Amino acid sequence: MRHPHGLPADGPAVTPEISVVITLYNEAGSLPELHQRTLVALTELGRSFEIVYVDDGSTDGTFAILEELHAADRGVRAIRFKRNFGQHPAMHAGLARSQANIIVTMDGDLQNLPEDIPKLVAAIDAGYDVASGRRAARNDSWGRTLPSRLINGMLRRFTHVDITDFGCAFNAYRRSVVTPMLGSIGRQKFTKALILSGGASVVEVDVGHAARQGASRYSPLRLTRLALHVLAGFWPQPIQWAGVVLGFVCTLAATALGIYAVAYWIGKSDFPGPLFLGAAVIFVLGVQGFVLALVGEYLGRIQREVEGRPLYAIDREL
């Protein structure tokens, strides 16, 4: 007798060929549809697989549905966090517990289309280490896409990897490039960029992107913090560069202001010093504020490393 996943229904467990890791947070409304569509897409591949769900501290009954899915299908695994720790620690929990040599990652909000899983798997079968999902037609507001373009540009510059969509969580990986990075995944908020920075080969695969139901969890403030995280995590010497830029800009500003002051004094005999001085002070304070925010990111990282706090705490695991 064969299990629907291509595994024996009885007897010792067999390592699956494909693991799908899905992170969830309050997705009870869409979870049954997500699971059914994922199951159909994987079954059509004709290969053994497992689905690893990570419930990031949902409060809407998401885990109760996962218990039902697990009871009906031993190929479904589930982890529940004690509270909401965030998408990236949840991704680490799923990656660390996946068993297959091909690992597909995706969000559980149905913006990623499960029907595209075979395209990502095919790219890994073709010999690439990473199949990077690229949202060819994003269904997000400009308030999401504009900051994402900025962050993507920063990551391309710092990782020297020429792909267009670092933020897409819908990807496939070869296990051999994931395992060495598990110590950093979760603490570093861009799993794909982290893996690619280690020299993994990559190909971009166009995937569908559905409009999000409900408000996005990525507010402008959170996107700004992500940008700071990119600088602290992927730029080797940001404080030194910030100091150079600050000194260069201030020198130019002081020189220009001095020349203008002399010219205005000669021509008008009345230089409006307080106005220009105030503008210069505000500009310098703004740059200093950014540098301080960057230093704060570093100090936060050092504190977490020194304390040795775990990435997450697991409540239940099926």
Range of the domain at 283: 238-307
Last residue of a domain, one of 217, 251, 286: 217
pLDDT averaged over 10-residue windows placed end to end, the chain, 318 residues: 47 80 93 95 94 94 95 92 90 94 93 93 96 76 65 72 82 94 79 85 87 56 61 58 65 73 72 69 72 69 68 90
| 259 and 156 belong to one structural domain | no
Whether residue 3 is contained in a domain is answered as no
| 243 and 194 belong to one structural domain | no
d(CA 123, CA 273): 63
Count of positions (residues) in the chain = 318
Query: What pLDDT, on the 0 to 100 scale, is given for residue 84?
Result: 92
Into how many domains does the chain fold?
2
Query: What pLDDT, on the 0 to 100 scale, is given for residue 11?
Result: 45
Contact between 178 and 95 under an 8 Å Cβ cutoff? The reply is: yes
| 28 and 143 belong to one structural domain | yes
Q: What sign does the dihedral 114-116-122-124 (CA atoms) show? A: negative
Query: What pLDDT, on the 0 to 100 scale, is given for residue 213?
Result: 55
Whether residue 5 is contained in a domain is answered as no
- SS3 of 185-252: ECCECCHHHHHHCCCCCEEEEEECECCCCCCCCCCHHHHHHHHHHHHHHHCCCHHHHHHHHHHHHHHH
Please state whether the predicted TM-score (pTM) of the whole model is above 0.85.
no
Q: Which residues contact 151 (CB under 8 A, 6 or more apart)?
A: 166, 167, 223, 226, 227, 230
| 39 and 160 belong to one structural domain | yes
Query: What pLDDT, on the 0 to 100 scale, is given for residue 266?
Result: 77
| 199 and 258 belong to one structural domain | no
Query: What pLDDT, on the 0 to 100 scale, is given for residue 194?
Result: 84
| 254 and 196 belong to one structural domain | no
| 44 and 167 belong to one structural domain | yes
| 283 and 162 belong to one structural domain | no
| 123 and 40 belong to one structural domain | yes
Whether residue 230 is contained in a domain is answered as no
| Full strand arrangement of the beta sheet holding 102-107 | 202-207, 130-135, 171-174, 102-107, 18-24, 49-55, 76-81, 314-317
| 207 and 268 belong to one structural domain | no
| 212 and 254 belong to one structural domain | no
- CATH number assigned to the domain comprising residue 114: 3.90.550.10
Last residue of a domain, one of 187, 217, 247: 217
Last residue of a domain, one of 217, 249, 271: 217
| 252 and 207 belong to one structural domain | no
